[in-house]
Structure 1
């Protein structure tokens, strides 16, 4: 029988995802067959598995930390918000339907069967399951509907470790309050708590920990220090949107309201001479050397945002002055002349003009394209001089089809014979459906070196090996967490 433990939080963004990844890595290095599981994830930062199924990015990170190829069993339900009260529901990696929150909960019984089938399949193949909850575990208004926190713990009879974030303040109150709001049977499942993101002298914290242990009669299993890690964030709670500071190449990323798959830009953020700036209003682009338009879960609404904020005027001004622009997925659609959504797939608006910087037209389709794919460039653009035979790989997640309607040329021939992307006739604009394109080290270094040369910066012979860097970061995470938790007690909880 599989061993399992569940990590629940006092709230959102307390570090559940990253600590689950840490424990996956720790037990993987101990020789166990360990896998992550999250029954329901709400995120716009998603991934496509090798068999063409969509899942949350956080479980991809956890799978990589566990030395596994990600599978949709690790995250059977993915909610991708489309409005403030509704989401596109992805079940077992495929679009199920769009539902408002109230309607979603009416499907609880069916969703439970989906969850249990995935969990049982996963647990039959692994020794240890590391389970992540969602948000805060003490949402008392949702307990009878819960399928991701204590409701899931009850379904699979899992012991629980509670995580609190001291960096935001009030950690003792949040742990105590969460514990006391739980039903008595749920409290019995909690076997310990972890204080996360600590800065300072732990000796000053110790008296409070002892008092809290006496109040709730569960032990503290560790105090984890604040860590700087180059590991993908789960969603738009990320601090990366604050940008970074430095000299070198200045890249401006349009911060769309419905931004998706912002992890596309993580490899760029890791380059020492690249400075990332997120653009959310007019007048922020004066120092920008390259403009990136990211993916979107609601392309038409995000196109309106660009017009309403006057960001389009800055984009046109920078384009006329010679600045290059790259759009990915929804950003690719935004660069075209027109976006049509007669079936109201993403929006109640049927059509909208795009920026018109590419001679393309996008028609939204009811069927979503989800696939991992490889190909090679057949045409280059200004930033990509050495394009001949350059291989590139990534994954597609989109509901629309884009066609070239005049002058411009396709960018990439895919392995399935289809063409992807568009390059403008002037060579300054490039759009593609390939998420993860900047994870291709040769491609990334080629365009960055062009910009380095243009700015008189030192050229880089070899770019970062992104895959190797991630492996080092997972080990760094595991080493730090191992040093600051009571692993013996956690193994006892797991009955190992």
Structure 2
């Protein structure tokens, strides 16, 4: 089991590497994370929703994704409210319960999913969440040491040394564990290290003297991207990381509840996340991303001034693409009669002659279609409560899925830009040259697995199996 001193310590990345490395050695491996909190989700072949990180880890393990690998998914809708997705389906009753009240209802499902996977596979690579040192959450824990104890798992604790304070993080986390929990902690991993590992001495030996736990790996900072649950890719894409305004870029509003943001990774350095109208200047295209709180994020878009700015650049002929929640925002009206996002009705931007109404049920499915505009065969997935109907002022390119009015397009198809031919076509409309494409996900997983394997004491890891 990989746990972390903090969120964004690289747990998902390390688990994907371990899944692929162990699968390469002939083990039947499955990933497992009891509870995710993320709006970066995807869809299994069975049409069920689960965390994006576990979908990637399943591919790393070369197994079919199964919601038992992520039985509980929490999708934040506000600072104090999340939608609970249990075994791939949104559960309104559990969503209405308080954080601590949910444990009694969720833990039996976590146990059942964990033990069924343990019975079917040789090895389970388990990912923790946040930090096991959050003692205020110990009583309601269903994802960190509670799972380690249930599975009798060996735990490797990772920290992000690039952020500084690594040895204090590791020692402090160890001190916060109970004696029973410490017995499962077998090693420390220094993750995302830059420089000469010899300069770390004598700190690893000192840490082992304090805790009795060895440091079993120093993993370098790897420039091999993977889709992750926490949106690390988006956090790294500031103006300094983007293409210059002179060369043009694709502007993506940084919505407060943005979802499925990893689908924009194929844009590479052309992507620029924007929060103000001034940052939109020089954009050759605009993409309105998905949102877990569409009406609230539309209000933010208006308050920030971006709504008006996007309308103006659209009227000037700049290509605009809305995906899922972004599509709904581009329409004329959004209705929420069942209170899926709190209820009410709000006007959209009016750039597409569409109206959306949120249904109680959620559409979750893998989708393949042919775009009537380009003739391209497209593949992706859908996750939405919205049911959208079109008026006479918009062209329906794919029924109930893809619409166009001039230079403005909207779709429910997540992963649209992960279709290389469509990405090239979209960037051509914007007058931009497509970036060098990413290597295939399988190739990246193989590369990461090998780099992580040689960075760990692999014989030590094998003895834990």
**TM-score (normalizing by structure 2):** 0.95
| TM-superposed deviation, 1:283 | 1.4
Return the match for 1:420 from 366, 380, 401: 401
1:416 maps to which residue? Answer: none
Return the match for 1:441 from 408, 413, 420: 420
| TM-superposed deviation, 1:101 | 8.9
Q: Distance in 1 between matches of 2:8 and 2:84?
A: 22
Instruction: Report Cα offsets for 1:67-101 as digits up to 9, x if no partner.
Output: 12211111000000111112100000001126579
Closer, same or farther: CA 429–103 of 1 in aligned 2, 3 Å: same
Note the residue ranges of structure 2 that are not aligned, 5 or more in a row. Answer: none
2:447 maps to which residue? Answer: 476
2:226 maps to which residue? Answer: 231
The alignment partner of 1:323 has SS state of coil
Tell me if 1:245 matches 2:242.
yes
Q: Distance in 2 between matches of 1:333 and 1:245?
A: 27
Q: Distance in 1 between matches of 2:156 and 2:261?
A: 30
| TM-superposed deviation, 1:358 | 0.2
Note the residue ranges of structure 1 that are not aligned, 5 or more in a row. Answer: 1-5, 381-386, 414-418
Contact 1:86 1:98 in 2 (8 A): no
Tell me if 1:399 matches 2:399.
no
Contact 1:60 1:70 in 2 (8 A): yes
| TM-superposed deviation, 1:440 | 1.2
Closer, same or farther: CA 216–102 of 1 in aligned 2, 3 Å: farther
Instruction: Report Cα offsets for 1:278-307 as digits up to 9, x if no partner.
Output: 011221111100100000001000110111
Contact 2:333 2:354 in 1 (8 A): yes
Closer, same or farther: CA 277–98 of 1 in aligned 2, 3 Å: farther
Q: Give the number of aligned pairs.
A: 461
Once superposed, what is the RMSD of the aligned Cα atoms? 1.8
2:69 maps to which residue? Answer: 74
| TM-superposed deviation, 1:173 | 0.6
Return the match for 2:309 from 314, 317, 334: 314
The alignment partner of 1:107 has SS state of helix
Superposition misfits of 4+ residues, deviation over 6 angstroms = none
Report the more deviating stretch, 279-288 or 128-137.
279-288
| TM-superposed deviation, 1:347 | 2.7
1:327 maps to which residue? Answer: 322
Matching of residues 95-106 of structure 1 within 5 Å = 95-97=90-92, 103-106=98-101
1:361 maps to which residue? Answer: 355
Return the match for 2:155 from 149, 156, 160: 160
| TM-superposed deviation, 1:476 | 1.4
The alignment partner of 1:289 has SS state of strand
1:137 maps to which residue? Answer: 132
2:279 maps to which residue? Answer: 284
1:179 maps to which residue? Answer: 174
2:463 maps to which residue? Answer: 492
